[in-house]
Amino acid sequence: MAATGPGDSPRARFADLGAAGRTLVMGIVNVTPDSFSDGGRWLQPEVAVAHARLLRAQGADVLDIGGESTRPGSERVPVDVELERVLPVVRELAAEGAVVSVDTVHAETADACLSAGAVIVNDVSGGLADPDMFAVVARREAPYVLGHWRGDPATMNERAVYDDVVTEAREELARQLTAARSAGVDPGLVVLDPGLGFAKEGQHNWELLAGLEELQGLGHPVLVGASRKRFLGTLLADPDGAPAPPLARDRATAAVSALVAAAGAWGVRVHEVLGSVDAVRVAAALSRARRSR
């Protein structure tokens, strides 16, 4: 396959990601004041770009740029504010040849960022937050991460009720897949995300990780975003029951990366890149050894 670069289509650059031969690492860059683990650290565009460059140098395959926090209880951000935060960052990184993903539930933001050089639209709402999202993705022929979602950050916790979270998430993802295809989205460009932490209690997240194969049965690559999430903090609680703080969850995040990479995940979305870069390489080496036996 010929090398691709910033001037190539999102479709071509998405296809080229497969040349890595392993689970991809998506580095998170939150250009927000209120994200749960690093809110405010990268709010200034020049600081966000510098951080993204570091993640890329450390081995991130994709840089996921977001301007609106989706932590439970966070407030929605107007599109103009979101664009003011993310567009300069997307434009600068895309011009440098980085594979950029825009983390947004807004069709207008997705469209503008694709024009600025973004390759992937990462929509945690799976098209439920903005009825125009599928039309934009279809028209732009953009790779699209379709997340499982049951309501915005203000309401999602109260909707974390399941009889069988894997079966229900699979069915709800399948429903949105059908809607996306009906709107003209190319199914060959769709990645699924089980939405860990979005309308999920801790045990739900573990069950979804254990049921990854069932989600892969929908016939699409799967992205896993476990990084620094509350269920890992609960797992690592101190003897008094206090959850481990977000920055103390990176080693557990890397462990999840290794496990889901061994299970065939397309990608992992993480804050701390180095540990997960090593983790997915270990998983790939083990898979190669198994195939050679």
List the catalytic residues: 229, 269
Output the 3-class SS for 9-63: CHHHHHHHHHHHCCCEEEEEEECCCCCCCCCCCCCCHHHHHHHHHHHHHCCCCEE
Is the Cβ–Cβ distance between 184 and 176 less than 8 Å? Answer: no
Is the Cβ–Cβ distance between 150 and 198 less than 8 Å? Answer: yes
Phi/psi for 16 (5° steps) reads: -65, -25
Q: How far apart are CA 48 and CA 43, in angstroms?
A: 6
Phi/psi for 118 (5° steps) reads: -65, 150
> Mind giving me the DSSP string for 71-114?
STTPPP--HHHHHHHHHHHHHHHHHTT--EEEE-S-HHHHHHHH
Phi/psi for 200 (5° steps) reads: -135, 135
Is the Cβ–Cβ distance between 234 and 277 less than 8 Å? Answer: no
Q: Which of 120, 83, 82 is nearest to 98 (CA)?
A: 120
Q: How far apart are CA 104 and CA 255, in angstroms?
A: 27
